[in-house]
């Protein structure tokens, strides 16, 4: 091209400059893409066009909206399980909101039972309610014993963990002290305290007496 | 963790160090990793507490120097080998666990250990 031959005739620097100018003029309409410096939009566009997801996190971080839903669902399930435990006459039922303390659970439900058959009854009742109302099965964790634990998942992390203790075991492990910083959630019923068997709500007391008289 | 491996006992059950003997339930299993139950003998114990030296206990491995690899590509290694003493039913013998625990213990049915742990590693 005539302009190129002119550039060759000139000095080196000028030649280079004019060459560049020539190129920019010729490639006026194309993006002057310098590969070393790509803007974010350009990178995104390239990724979208050519990118391939090789592996994604199986536990993706939830958006705050999803998280709030999960919180609400966990709370309703935890209170339903607490009510179920209360119906089987578990005592000292406490619901701790442990999400601020630990990442792997939202609520701890701690209850006491007086005998192994009662523990089994509570376990059965809680499993039934979880299955029917929420479709959740507890993660398998061995035979019921002095400390029985039931681990319910809502998402991949277990959200409601139920601990059923015999009173001696509850004192021994003292989880309430360990999680003392967790706020207690108010339950829709008055939980019977193991220390005083006369501490019952009126409704509960009446229904209990009715049951006794019927049996 | 191989047989004869010494590990710290990471709870307040009274044992301090234990030595792995076997993995129960498998005939000749060589390696036990985080979240596996092992049979171990107490090698060193806090004086005046229930586990005596040379008492055989079951334990759950909480930390290993070898560590483990996760599905998402993350690898976790610890600075020590540690186990938590449990009874035959899986209940921890001590009331508290010391040091962090990998969450795999929970997935291997030892959520009670994880409940008593100060820190659970994601």
Chain B residues inside the 8 Å CB shell of A150 = none
Could you tell me which residues are beta bridge partners of residue A111? A164
Query: Could you please report the per-residue DSSP string of A40-103?
Result: HHHHHHHHHHH-------SSPPPPHHHHHHHHHHHHHHHHHHHHHHHHTT-EEEEEEE-TTT-S
Nearest to A58 among B71, B95, B111 (CB): B71
Measured between alpha carbons, how far is A165 from B102 in angstroms, rounded to an integer? 25
Q: What is the mean pLDDT of chain A?
A: 72
Nearby residues of B99 by Cβ (< 8 Å), 6 or more positions away: B10, B62, B63, B82, B117, B118, B119
Task: For chain B, give every domain's residue range.
Answer: 5-120
At B68, give phi and psi (nearest 5°). -150, 160
Measured between alpha carbons, how far is A93 from A78 in angstroms, rounded to an integer? 11
Mean pLDDT for the stretch of residues A142-166:
76
Mutate to test the interface with A, among B98, B112, B117, B122 (most CBs of A within 10 A): B112
**3 state SS of B78:** coil
Chain B residues inside the 8 Å CB shell of A109 = none
> Per-residue pLDDT for A212 more than 80?
no
pTM attached to this predicted model: 0.66
Residues A64-103 pLDDT 10s: 777 777 778 888 888 888 888 888 888 888 888 888 788 7
For the record, the structure tokens of B102 come out as 């990998």
Residue A50 gets the label, from left (phi > 0), alpha (psi -120 to 50) or beta, of alpha
Query: Could you please report the per-residue DSSP string of B33-72?
Result: -TT-EEEEEEEEE-TTSSPPTT-EEEEEEEE-SS-EE-TT
Chain B residues inside the 8 Å CB shell of A139 = 107, 109, 111
> Per-residue pLDDT for A149 more than 80?
yes
How far does the CA of residue B11 sit from the closest CA of chain A (Å)? 12
Strand B100-102 to B119-121 pairing: parallel
For the record, the structure tokens of A36 come out as 């070393």
Mark yes or no for CB contact B112/A158 under 8 Å.
Answer: no
How far does the CA of residue B72 sit from the closest CA of chain A (Å)? 6
- The confidence score (pLDDT) of residue A75 equals 84
Residues B1-10 pLDDT 10s: 777 788 888 8
Chain A residue with CA closest to B112: the answer is: A149
At the topology level, CATH places domain A69-188 in: Beta Polymerase; domain 2 (3.30.460)
> Per-residue pLDDT for B80 more than 70?
yes
> Domain B5-120 is in which class?
mainly beta
How far does the CA of residue A139 sit from the closest CA of chain B (Å)? 8
Measured between alpha carbons, how far is A21 from A30 in angstroms, rounded to an integer? 14
CB atoms within 10 A of CB A132: 10
- The confidence score (pLDDT) of residue A208 equals 47
Residues B12-67 pLDDT 10s: 777 778 888 878 776 777 788 888 888 888 888 887 777 777 788 888 888 888 88
Measured between alpha carbons, how far is A162 from A179 in angstroms, rounded to an integer? 14
């Amino acid at each position: 091209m005539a302009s190129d031959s002119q550039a060759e005739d000139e000095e080196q620097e000028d030649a280079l400059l004019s060459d560049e100018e020539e190129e920019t003029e010729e490639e006026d309409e194309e993006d002057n893409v310098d590969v070393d410096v790509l803007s974010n939009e350009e990178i995104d566009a390239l990724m979208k066009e050519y990118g391939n997801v090789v592996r994604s996190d199986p536990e993706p971080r939830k958006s705050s909206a999803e998280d709030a839903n999960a919180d609400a669902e966990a709370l309703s399930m935890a209170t339903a399980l607490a009510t179920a435990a209360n119906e089987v006459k578990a005592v000292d039922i406490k619901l701790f909101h442990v999400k601020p303390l630990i990442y792997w659970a939202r609520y701890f439900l701690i209850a006491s039972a007086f005998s192994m058959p009662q523990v089994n009854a509570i376990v059965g009742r809680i499993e039934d309610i979880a299955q029917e109302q929420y479709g959740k099965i507890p993660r398998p964790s061995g035979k019921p014993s002095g400390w029985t634990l039931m681990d319910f998942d809502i998402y991949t992390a277990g959200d409601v963990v139920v601990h059923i203790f015999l009173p001696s075991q509850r004192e021994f492990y003292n989880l309430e002290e360990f999680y003392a910083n967790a706020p207690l959630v108010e339950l829709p019923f008055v939980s019977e305290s193991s220390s005083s068997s006369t501490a019952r709500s009126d409704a509960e007391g009446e229904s209990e007496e009715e049951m006794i008289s019927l049996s | 963790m191989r047989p004869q491996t010494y590990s710290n006992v990471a709870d307040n059950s009274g044992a301090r160090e234990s030595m792995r003997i076997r993995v129960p339930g498998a005939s000749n299993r060589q390696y036990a990793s985080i979240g596996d139950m092992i049979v171990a003998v107490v090698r060193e114990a806090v004086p005046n507490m229930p586990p005596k030296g040379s008492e055989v206990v079951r334990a759950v491995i909480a930390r290993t120097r070898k560590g483990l690899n996760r599905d998402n590509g993350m690898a976790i290694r610890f600075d020590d080998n540690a186990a938590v003493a449990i009874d035959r039913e899986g209940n921890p013998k001590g009331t508290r666990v010391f040091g962090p625990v990998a969450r795999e213990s929970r997935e291997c049915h030892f959520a009670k250990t994880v409940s008593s742990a100060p820190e659970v590693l994601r």
